[in-house]
Amino acid sequence: MSIPEKSSQLLKIKRGFNGVKIHNLFIFNRAGICIYGLNFSQIYTIEQEQLISSYFTALMSFTKELIGDKIKTVEMGGGIKLVVFEKNNLFYCVLSASFENLSLLEEIVSKIHAIFLTYIKKNDVKTDIEYICDENLNYLVEDVIREILSKDFDLKKEEVIIEYFKEIQQNDEIHGCILLTDRGNVVYSSLRDIELKKFLKQVDFRVKICNNSILKLFYTSRDNELILSEYVSDLYFIILIFHAKTKFGVAEFYLQKIVSRIFTILNQ
């Protein structure tokens, strides 16, 4: 199964819905009936929601004996994936960029689930047969995502940081740079989606480190690139990728310069 894309890939990941990397949400029951669907980005439009529901119902039945009740993820190609969460006999299916953080998606789905349960109880919705089409519910779901994506962040200052990261890319020593939130959500990347997905798999366990006693890390990639990373103000996680021949002292100098600049922006 493949889904046509209607927009070019964006390197800057905004905290709204103009360039968001969470594209669609579907909720369906065990019978494979889609009872709710919402498109956030207009990049991928899916008209056959029931086809996706049936596809995943079959997938759930096939994989449950093999991998139990773990989160199911299916790579769809083209830099996107479908992730399914099961909650109270309902399946929440999220279409997102391949590199989107699973813990972030799970947090979003958990809050949407709470809202959805309240809604179906209040409106006496029969989830075995009814399809929900309600603008008020759409607004509630969108607000949940906006709140989580923007929580604790000054988005105006974040825009300034993103512009600064674009300037960083002009440096010949730096092969790539990535800006993530403290929870691993990608805010900006100079890497293409496919490269970013591959790279984040290599450093995934490091991105999950939130212990204040571990603020700085350096290591090498499988391609022998020198990678330096550091947390800034308990809000952002910076990853800088240097060419293999770059001396550690030079890389450390650039890292500290960038960290200092970001710290200044955040405290202005």
> 4-25 pLDDT, tens per residue?
343 333 333 344 444 447 888 9
What are the angstrom distances between the C-alpha of 96 and each of 40, 44, 129, 161, 172? 10, 10, 27, 24, 32
Q: What is the pLDDT of residues 205-221, one digit of tens each?
A: 454 444 444 446 666 66
pLDDT digits (tens, 9 = 90+) for 235-251: 888 889 998 888 889 99
Q: What is the pLDDT along the chain (268 residues), one digit of tens a residue?
A: 333 343 333 333 344 444 447 888 989 887 778 889 888 876 666 655 555 655 555 555 555 544 455 667 777 777 788 888 888 888 898 888 877 778 788 889 999 999 999 999 999 988 888 889 899 999 999 888 888 776 656 778 888 999 999 998 888 889 889 998 877 778 888 888 767 877 776 665 454 444 444 446 666 666 778 888 888 877 888 889 998 888 889 999 999 999 999 999 988 8
Residue ranges of domains in the chain, CATH in brackets:
22-150 (3.30.450.70), 155-266 (3.30.450.30)
